[in-house]
Structure 1
Amino acid sequence: MGLGSHPSLPSILLNSHLDSVPAEPSKWLHPPFSAVRDADGLIFARGAQDDKCIAMQYLEAIRSLNSKGFVPVRTVHISLVPDEEVGGFAGWAMFVESDEFEKMNVGFALDEGQASVGDEFRVFYADRIPWNLKIKATGQPGHGSRLYDDSAMENLMKSVEVVSRFRESQFDVVKAGKALNSEVVSVNPVYVKAGVPTHDGFVMNVQPSEAEAGFDLRLTPTTDPDEMKRRIAAEWAPSVRNMSFEIIEKGPLRDCLGHPLMTATNDSNPWWLVFKQAIASAGEKLSRPEILASTTDARYIRQKGIPVLGFSPMKNTPILLHDHNEHLRDTVYMKGIQVYESLISSLSSFLEASH
């Protein structure tokens, strides 16, 4: 599309990641990396929803606009990046600190969202932030028949029980309809490691001296990280029970001014108003703005104080990211191109907003 007619204005950025998670071919109806379209118009491919679809839709929308002679006021950039599925640390986390990114002068960005099972598009104004939490317990080793206080496995199981109660307290809020899943702190156990291994299993009559469990912890943008760490230290892995913990923080929680990483979705944000109008101009509707339950590269862009909306134009579509038989209907894909035409033309023609 080239430079905008007013290239000094803050630019528009369209971001998509090109990496995808692995697939298990034996559990798919069609080879997961072949993009097979079946007789019903379903395109089966790893990345069909997450996230190669929007990369292609950006390009097709821009090609269509160019063919019509459209000239943007603001420069439009497309970034196709690696590493998102493993945290973005060698991708956007590094790129936002580069001179190249600074020169792009980004004023507003779009990144990936998620499919909607209903007939309204979903839009996301923030991401939850993942922490990888490892809790380790130590204790007296000994014969499997003996009873000890504070054995490693006993301490770890107590910890798992406490974490489970916290999980239930958050999930109860969701079940009661008082919050969406993405609006609470989630924590889920992902592995337990203990025992003395043998060639065909574990020694059954030895109590191990160490035991470890891993948890996927997701914080909301408004979660106090210091308070969360205090909870973990005092309740989940207290040192008085010979326990320790390690947190691997998978991205920023605050922007350059120390604010939560959220994009306003009200009249205070002129970009939001343009976005809404562009969706309406395409004949579509939006559901209530949400926090994304998972995590995207958008958090690194928001960290720079740049407004970002997560949006993937997929409606009446099952949510299949990272699932077996991930697919997208061809008509949904084609409609998304039209929607992006409306968005790109409207956002890149907007004159009033600046940094």
Structure 2
Amino acid sequence: MTMSFNGFHRLYYIISIALLLQPPSAIAGDSILSRFQQYLQINTSHPSPNYHQAADFILSQAKSLSLESRTIEFVKNKPLILLKWPGKNPDLPSILLNSHTDVVPVEPHKWSHPPFDATIDPENGNIYARGSQDMKCVGLQYLEAIRKLKDSKFEPLRTIYVSFVPDEEIGGLDGAKRFANSKIFDEMNVGIVLDEGLASPEDKYRLFYAERRAMSLVIKATGAPGHGAKMYDNTAMENLLKSIESVRRFRASQFDLVKAGVKAEGEVISVNMVFLKAGTPSPTGFVMNLQPSEAQAGFDIRVPPIADHDQASLERRIAEEWAPASRNMTFEIRQFKQKDSGKPILTAYDSSNPWWTLIEEAIVKAKGKIGKPEIFPASTDARYFRMKGVHAIGFSPMANTPILLHDHNEFLNKEEYLKGIEVYESILKAFASFVEAKNGEDSLGDEL
């Protein structure tokens, strides 16, 4: 196709006028979504996350926002990016906005859109990508909220830090744990940490004040091997199946409480079988006429940090019901110890914690609704900061959104993403302006 100079000039003029006629908010929204897409398109999935490309992108955003930046490698090739917006009163405890750059693996053939294309569906506005909910959305929303505050000439009273850490999806040992236990973190004088939460299928945002302790349980059964056609007592497989059934009944009793609305998911003990290992391998699969002498099953267990669920009681149940020695069974428990004292680590969610009051008020101010405080059903990096005695709140502003973290076709609607930025803007303004009065009463700066 050919076009004359005058024809091209007219087309350019028409396009220019069309762009000028767009409302400023539409143009700004497109830029915000474009930046989100760029971050999502960086493949930081395990086992080989492209941390350095993600770090370069974050540093470029920090430069555009005139934020101080620092790259820290507690472990080689696992960069942690720390950004800083200095406050007018650096003596006040600071605010830390934490997020992780890594995401879980994907099975691309099970996605309706390529998981690292960050496709925006034109019909419904959903942004499909691994990390759209967990949790690249939150990291970029922090920065976009800061961008809005800077554009409005807001000056924080407290210093605001933004951290982008590696390795959360594989335990956070080389990321948040090392960071929280470093001299760097101690010198930051952090008073409150915001970290990830969960999407809400309802119109209310979810706030998390604690999380369940993670346990790994491996049950092993042994028995005499024998011909596949013979009926034996106490074979390895028979004994293991009895244990699995006992675990299944316990799981059902806990799940029934959730289904009935008696307890939230984070308030019960969850037990899920994650592997089953047995049989004698053969070139074509398994030997079918041989009963194995050993069989194993592995379980992911999550225990709420509340007094009703006694750790000793659970371990007694495992020893007496799930893996009794009388059935030639042994077991191994691996668990994450939150504190040597064994005491649960909770962030107060009542009036004794002004940060909790502030975040609730800020969400409402941004026209958001809030559900009741919850225990996070899985594990996040927030636990490492709570172990340091710092308040940590789990929050991801995703209402009216199905919970799809680690799932196929993970998505976040673009309107929810943009709304979340407004919510964070309100929260940061409240947090960064907060001054605790000498008489113990809380007060806010004139900025509010």
TM-score range, shorter chain: over 0.9
**1:204 and 1:240 mapped to 2: Cα distance?**
28
Contact 1:4 1:73 in 2 (8 A): yes
Which residues of 2 match residues 76-225 of structure 1 at below 5 A? 76-222=160-306, 223-225=309-311
Q: Of the two structures, which has the highest relative contact order with CA contacts closer than 8 Å and spacing of 6 or more?
A: 1
Deviations 1:101-137 (A, max 9, x none): 1111111111111111111111111111221211111
Q: Confirm or deny: 8 A CA contact 1:252 1:300 kept in the other structure.
A: no
Secondary structure at 2:274's aligned position in 1? strand
2:374 counterpart residue number: 290
Question: How far 1:194 sits from its partner (Å)?
Answer: 0.6
Aligned residues: CA RMSD: 1.7
Shift of 1:61: 0.7
Partners of 2:330 and 2:341 lie apart in 1 by 32
Q: Which residue of 1 aligns with 2:333?
A: 247
Where in structure 2 are there 5+ consecutive unaligned residues?
1-66, 68-84, 439-448
Counterpart CA distance in 1 for 2:213 and 2:101 is: 21
The aligned residue for residue 281 of structure 1 is: 365
Q: Which runs of structure 1 show a deviation greater than 6 angstroms over 4 or more consecutive aligned residues? A: none
Contact preservation (8 Å) 1:266, 1:272? yes
Residue 22 of structure 1 aligns with an amino acid whose one-letter code is P
d(CA) in 2 for partners of 1:261, 1:344: 25
Map residues 297-308 of structure 1 onto 2, 5 A cutoff.
Answer: 297-308=381-392
Within 1, Cα distance between the matches of 2:231 and 2:367?
69
Match of 2:428 among 338, 344, 349: 344
- Deviations for 1:264-301, whole angstroms, at most 9, x for unmatched residues? 11111111111111111111110111111122111111
Aligned-partner Cα distance in 2 for 1:290–1:87: 21
**By how many angstroms is 1:78 displaced?**
0.8
| Alignment correspondent of 1:27 | 110
Report which stretch shifted further, 127-136 or 145-154: 145-154
Higher Rg of the two aligned structures: 2
Q: Distance in 1 between matches of 2:332 and 2:296?
A: 11
- Where 2:435 maps in the other structure, the secondary structure is coil
Deviates more, 1:191-200 or 1:48-57: 191-200
Residues 24-62 of structure 1, C-alpha deviations (whole Å, 9 max, x = no match): 111212210111112132111100011000000001111
Equivalents in 2 of 1:330, 1:138: separation in Å? Answer: 54
Separation in 1, partners of 2:231, 2:399: 57
8 Å Cα contact 1:134/1:213 also seen in 2: yes
Higher-helix-fraction structure: 2
Task: Provide structure 1 residue ranges, at least 5 long, that are not aligned to the other structure.
Answer: none
Q: Percent identity?
A: 57
TM-score by length of structure 1 reads: 0.95
Q: What one-letter code is carried by the residue in structure 2 that aligns with 1:305?
A: G
The one-character-per-residue Cα deviations of 1:161-181 (angstroms, maximum 9, x if unpaired) are 111121122122223321112
2:94 pairs with 1:8: no
Pairwise CA distance, 1:226: 2.9
Inter-partner Cα distance in structure 1 for 2:391 and 2:379: 16
SS in 2 for 1:125: strand
User: Retained in 2: the 8 A contact 1:12–1:74?
Assistant: yes
**3-state SS of the aligned residue for 1:15?**
strand
- Hey, what's the Cα distance between the residues in 2 that align with 1:233 and 1:91? 35
Tell me how far apart the structure 2 counterparts of residues 127 and 172 of structure 1 sit (CA, whole Å): 20
- 2:106 alignment partner AA: A
1:323 offset after TM fit, Å?
1.4
Q: CA deviation at 1:308?
A: 1.1
SS at match of 2:205: coil
